[in-house]
Amino acid sequence: MRYGVDGDLLSESEYEKPLSVFLPLRVRRTLVNRFCLVCQNVDCKSRGSEELMQELQERVAAKGLADVEVRSYMCFGACQEGPNMVVYPDKCWYAGVKKEDVDEIVEHLAGGAHVERLDKIDPSLKELIYQLLDTGVF
């Protein structure tokens, strides 16, 4: 394990990320147009969110989407619906994501359409989380 500039503990795979991830978050936010926040808490992880995040990171890098960052998130509070991820600032929530959904999510991250069939979370919870994200706490 190693530490990033933000003081975050990095796994070996995270350490292999592009140099931009080592910039302070406030600087990265000026370079990144779109975040894909992937829950890495216990329930989502038990449903494969770690593998999904890695797959998304690899696919985004392979597609050359330098203004997109796929990163972990602590928990969105919809643990039984996981794996959960939110594309921000688009404010699109994807729940129950499976590996076969990754193609469509990458297309969304590249500027394509929102994958509506994966958006199945209660609107009041979504609004709460989006308000939290708007504060910049992630």
Q: Which residues bind ligand FES (CB under 6 A)?
A: 39, 41-44, 75-79, 82, 84
> What stretch of H or E contains 93?
strand 92-94
Q: How far is the CB of 26 from ligand FES (least distance, A)?
A: 25
75 residue type, one letter: C
| Angle, CA 126 vertex, CA 37 and CA 134 arms, to 5° | 60
What is the C-alpha separation between 118 and 97, in angstroms, rounded?
A: 7
User: Which tokens in the block code for residue 98?
Assistant: 């499976």
User: Which tokens in the block code for residue 103?
Assistant: 């193609």
- Closest to 24 in 3D by CA, of 32, 16, 33, 12: 32
- Which of residues 49 and 57 has its CB atom nearest to ligand FES in the complex? 49
Q: How far is the CB of 10 from ligand FES (least distance, A)?
A: 20
What is the C-alpha separation between 129 and 138, in angstroms, rounded?
A: 11
Q: How far is the CB of 41 from ligand FES (least distance, A)?
A: 3
- Which of residues 10 and 75 has its CB atom nearest to ligand FES in the complex? 75
Q: How far is the CB of 40 from ligand FES (least distance, A)?
A: 8
- Which of residues 33 and 96 has its CB atom nearest to ligand FES in the complex? 96
Q: How far is the CB of 86 from ligand FES (least distance, A)?
A: 10
- Which of residues 77 and 96 has its CB atom nearest to ligand FES in the complex? 77
- Which of residues 21 and 76 has its CB atom nearest to ligand FES in the complex? 76
User: Which tokens in the block code for residue 136?
Assistant: 């910049």
